[in-house]
Structure 1
């Protein structure tokens, strides 16, 4: 039998402005997200953990 593997993704940083401009061509959403940032300057930082 195969054992489930653990997948862990932590401290991934994405440039919100570039990402959303590429996806939507608009800066409004990017500015809205920037207003919600806490510590990462002009980046939206998040941690995601997926465990099986």
Structure 2
């Protein structure tokens, strides 16, 4: 079998596996964020990204 055919078949197999297998996280990491009382609008997403677009100092 040539490489192009092999690559195509493996790609199809991987797509099938990805569509049928559930995702199971291997670990969960804690994210600690601190802010002063006069800071508002600080947001942390579920994937630990910190959003500062709406941060305001009061």
Structure 1 length as normaliser, TM-score?
Answer: 0.25
Larger strand fraction of residues = 1
Please identify the structure whose Cα radius of gyration is greater: 2
With a CA cutoff of 8 Å and minimum separation of 6, indicate the structure with the bigger relative contact order: 1
